[in-house]
């Protein structure tokens, strides 16, 4: 069934290894948790398909000489089997991963879809367990992140839920929390250091610091007064105006 990412004891490749090689980054391998949903997810599809299968078989054996009823029974039987095969294929191809940086859910048979949620954006993490889930050992995980609706907001039918819950809780909130860095694993740029002010001089006094930590600058000095114009230039302009 899978569970926290531990290699099989017989040396075989785990079932989730293909998706892990394709969608996980190098520094995310091996994942902390790698599993598919519990087989109990197939209980409802099987319960829906069994009556349809019974009707198809009944139509086929009711009157074997009647081609119409036999053909209808065969169509119903094939449709029910196709429905079960589709649900079983979706269950088989869906994998849930938790790495040191992200939560991923891969799904789809023909078209593969990968939903990704960075650990650093998770603001709340809870899990619920129904009475049937306690017996069969599966639960529902809910993730909340930054007020946005995510494709990974709820993961149902996770097997070994208590063990997975402990591993994810330790990764998110324990001493060995999620690694620092951005969502792609690159180191975050260090904040710029504040520019050091030049030493005070007679022409530039030191800036005063207020009680709340702000630095108050000195007022801008006034401009020097304009020099008066010479009398010769003024008299020349008067004579030119008299002409």
- Predicted confidence at residue 96, as pLDDT, reads 92
Length of the chain counted residue by residue: 243
**Model confidence, pTM:** 0.64
Sign for the CA dihedral angle at 174, 175, 178, 181 comes to positive
- Report yes or no: 78 and 57 within 8 Å, Cβ to Cβ: no
Q: What is the pLDDT along the chain (243 residues), one digit of tens a residue?
A: 445 555 555 556 777 888 888 888 888 888 888 989 999 999 999 999 999 999 999 998 888 888 898 899 999 999 999 999 999 999 999 999 999 889 999 999 989 899 888 888 888 888 888 999 999 999 998 888 875 556 678 889 998 878 888 888 888 877 655 555 555 555 555 545 555 555 655 555 555 555 555 555 666 777 777 776 655 544 555 455 455
Crossing angle, helix 43-62 and helix 67-93, to 10 degrees? 160
Using omega within 30 degrees of 0 as the cis cutoff, is the peptide bond preceding 30 cis?
yes
- Predicted confidence at residue 1, as pLDDT, reads 46
- Predicted confidence at residue 176, as pLDDT, reads 56
């Amino acid at each position: 069934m899978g569970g926290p990412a531990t290699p099989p004891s017989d040396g075989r490749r785990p079932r989730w290894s293909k998706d892990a090689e394709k969608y996980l980054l190098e520094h995310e391998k091996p994942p902390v948790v790698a599993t598919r949903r519990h087989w109990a997810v197939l209980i409802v599809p099987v319960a829906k398909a069994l009556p349809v299968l019974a009707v198809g078989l009944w139509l086929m054996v009711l009157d074997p000489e009647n081609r119409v009823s036999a053909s209808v029974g065969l169509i119903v039987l094939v449709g029910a089997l196709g429905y079960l095969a589709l649900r079983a294929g979706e269950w088989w191809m869906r994998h849930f991963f938790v790495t040191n940086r992200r939560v991923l859910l891969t799904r789809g048979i023909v078209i593969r879809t990968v939903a990704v949620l960075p650990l650093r954006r998770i603001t709340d993490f809870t899990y619920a367990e129904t009475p049937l889930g306690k017996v069969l050992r599966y639960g529902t995980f809910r993730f909340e992140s930054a007020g946005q609706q995510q494709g990974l907001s709820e993961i149902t039918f996770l097997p070994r839920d208590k063990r997975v819950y402990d591993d994810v809780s330790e990764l998110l909130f324990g001493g060995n929390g999620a690694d620092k860095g951005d969502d792609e694993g690159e180191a975050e740029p260090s904040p710029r250091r504040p520019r050091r002010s030049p030493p005070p001089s007679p022409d530039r006094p030191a800036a005063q610091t207020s009680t709340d930590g702000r630095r108050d600058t000195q007022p801008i000095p006034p401009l020097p007064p304009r020099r008066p114009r010479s009398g010769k230039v003024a008299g020349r302009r008067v004579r030119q105006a008299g002409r």
